[in-house]
Each structure stands twice: as structure tokens, then as C-alpha cells.
């Protein structure tokens, strides 16, 4: 996949926050006119006592969700954990995993937030901008804004409001399970983001591509920590059956 890596990485909290404010004006949230044919999800896991971060990306056909390709990457953690600045901690390893994919995709599903962010520029916005791909953020915890109580039944939802403006959706993807938080990241809007995520659900809390990416990131971490040397790779599912 074609990826543009940032020319520099902010090293401090204020610098990173200001960087997000600067690039937020470049975030395109226009509604797409067509469904994706392929979706790529990317997620991370931490290891070596939090000193290393691992990423896995998995591409699936849509709407069948048949796995096509997967890739992995790892990086040393260089930025502290600060809510709202997770891109500067995990963005590089996500981009490296995406860059390792041999084939292109139509849409990215990113573990994290998009517009539902204090500066309306979450990790899904930044990943989408740097890859020039449609991107949707899907997170397990809310970062910014507020919403009314989401009914406990599957399919219930409430808008996430930030300063009086809707920035995402709190969505109950499974009965009696905590909601997920969906927001557009790049080149898509709220309604489109919700529709795609709903169509990716397969009985779990997380949409299937993101659930698989999360499992693969943790598997990659375990393999690397057993000293199986594999820093970045790309393989097709047909080669691994």
C-alpha cells in the first residue's frame, strides 16, 4: 500500500496537539458514493514491558469479509501514553504494517477514534490523510464528547456530541455488551461510517476485520517475544492454509 510517512514526529505533548490542530483543516469528511470492495483493518498490541508496539493489518473482501492479505510491523515506543495523542505513539507502526501490504484497499478500519476527538483529529483521521484512503475510527472507549445512555439491546445507538456538534456514534453491537464508538476518519461521514461498521459485525463486539487485526497483533507480539524473528512481512491467506 502507498503510504506517506510524516517528515517529522512531534516529541512533546503541546507540539503534538498543535500539529493536530494544524492538520485538522485538511481532513476531508465528504460522503463516499460507493461501497468498498476491500477493507483493511489495523490494530496494535504492546510488549516487552510496554517498550515495543506491534501492529497487524488484515485486508478482507467486502461485504463477504473473506481474508485476502495480512501484514505485520513492530516499533520501539517513543512517545508517552497521552489520551488524544495516540497517533504519535502508534501511528508509525500502523503505517509500517499498512506499507507492507502488497495490494491496495478501498477503506481503512482503524483501532481508535476519528472525528470524535478533542481536536477532531484522531488517529483514524491522521492514518487516512497519510494514506489518502477512506478511514473509519472504531474504539472500545469514548475519548471526547458525551452521549445519552445507549439501550442494552443490539442495534441501539446514540449520537456523540462535542461542543454541540455530532462527531460520532455510540453503538451497541451486541446485547448486554458495552457499546463501541464509531467516527469518520477521512473521506467519509458519520452515516457511512456507521453503515460500514454495522455490515462488518459477525456476532462479536468489534467489527470482524478489526477483531481479527487485534488478534493478529497479539499473536505477532507473542511470536516475537518467543524470539521468532519476523519484523515486517506480508503474506496471502492462500499461502498459509
Name the nearest CA neighbour of 79 among 143, 18, 15: 15
pTM for the predicted model, two decimal places: 0.92
- pLDDT for 239: 44
- Domains, in order of start, for the chain: 26-142+181-240 (3.30.2170.10)
Residue 230 pLDDT more than 70?
A: no
For residue 234, name the pLDDT band (cuts at 50, 70, 90).
Answer: low
| Strands of the chain, DSSP E | 38-47, 52-61, 67-76, 107-111, 134-139, 157-162, 165-171, 180-186, 233-236
- pLDDT for 8: 85
- pLDDT for 33: 87
Helix (H, G, I), strand (E, B) or coil at 179: coil
User: 48-102 pLDDT, tens per residue?
Assistant: 889 999 999 999 999 999 999 999 999 999 999 999 999 999 999 999 999 999 9
In the structure grid, which three cell numbers stand for residue 46, read together?
504492546
**CB under 8 Å to 227, separation ≥6 — which residues?**
none
Residue 232 pLDDT more than 80?
A: no
> What mean pLDDT comes out for the span 153-172?
98
Give Dmax over CA atoms of the chain in angstroms: 50
Beta strand pairing call for 180-186 and 165-171: antiparallel
Residue 40 pLDDT more than 70?
A: yes
User: 200-220 pLDDT, tens per residue?
Assistant: 999 999 999 999 999 999 999
Residue 231 pLDDT more than 80?
A: no
Amino acid at each position: 500500500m502507498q503510504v506517506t510517512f510524516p517528515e517529522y514526529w512531534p516529541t512533546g505533548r503541546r507540539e503534538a496537539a498543535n500539529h493536530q490542530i494544524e492538520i485538522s483543516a485538511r481532513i476531508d469528511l465528504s460522503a463516499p458514493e460507493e461501497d468498498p470492495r476491500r477493507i483493511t483493518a489495523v490494530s496494535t498490541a504492546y510488549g516487552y514491558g510496554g517498550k515495543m508496539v506491534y501492529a497487524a493489518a488484515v485486508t478482507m473482501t467486502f461485504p463477504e469479509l473473506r481474508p485476502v492479505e495480512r501484514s505485520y510491523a513492530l516499533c520501539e515506543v517513543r512517545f508517552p501514553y497521552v489520551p488524544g495523542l495516540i497517533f504519535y505513539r502508534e501511528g508509525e507502526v500502523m503505517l509500517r504494517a499498512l506499507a507492507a501490504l502488497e495490494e491496495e484497499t478501498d477503506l481503512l478500519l482503524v483501532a481508535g477514534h476519528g472525528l470524535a476527538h478533542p481536536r477532531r483529529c484522531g488517529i483514524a483521521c491522521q492514518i487516512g490523510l497519510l494514506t489518502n484512503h477512506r478511514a473509519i475510527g472504531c474504539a472500545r472507549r469514548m475519548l471526547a464528547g458525551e452521549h445519552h445512555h445507549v439501550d442494552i439491546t443490539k442495534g441501539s445507538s446514540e449520537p456523540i456530541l462535542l461542543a454541540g456538534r455530532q462527531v460520532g456514534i455510540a453503538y451497541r453491537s451486541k446485547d448486554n455488551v458495552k457499546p463501541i464508538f464509531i467516527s469518520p476518519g477521512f473521506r467519509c461521514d458519520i452515516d457511512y461510517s456507521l453503515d460500514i461498521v454495522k455490515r462488518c459485525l459477525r456476532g462479536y463486539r468489534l467489527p470482524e476485520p478489526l477483531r481479527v487485526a487485534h488478534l493478529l497483533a497479539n499473536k505477532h507480539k507473542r511470536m516475537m517475544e518467543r524470539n521468532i524473528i519476523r519484523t515486517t512481512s506480508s503474506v496471502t491467506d492462500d499461502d498459509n492454509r
